[in-house]
Amino acid sequence: MVLSPHSQPALAAWLRERYDFLPDPRVTLLRSYTNDVFLVEQDDRRFVLKVYGQGWRTRDDVGYEIELIDHLARA
C-alpha cells in the first residue's frame, strides 16, 4: 500500500478491517519522510502507527526498533 496524506481514508479502512477495536479510527499524518508516522485516534484512545517504506528496513531492523520502544516504555 502506497500512502500519502490523501490515502488516510484508505488507511482507516485498512485498520478497521484488521483491528476490531477500531470501528471508526481518525487517522492524521504526523510525519512523512523515509517512512510515514500516523496518529490513530478512537474515542479517548490514541495510537501511533509507523508505516515503513518498502525496502527501507529489514525485518530485524524493525524488530530491534520494537524491542527498543518496549524497553523505553517499561523504564
Per residue in 2-52, pLDDT tens? 555 557 888 888 888 888 777 888 899 898 887 889 999 988 999 998 888
Percentages (nearest 5) of helix, strand, coil residues in the chain: 40, 30, 30
Amino acid, res. 20: D
pLDDT at 74 over 90: yes
SS3 of residue 16 by DSSP: helix
Amino acid, res. 18: R
- The Cβ-side half-sphere exposure at 26, using a 13 Å CA radius, reads 6
pTM: 0.73
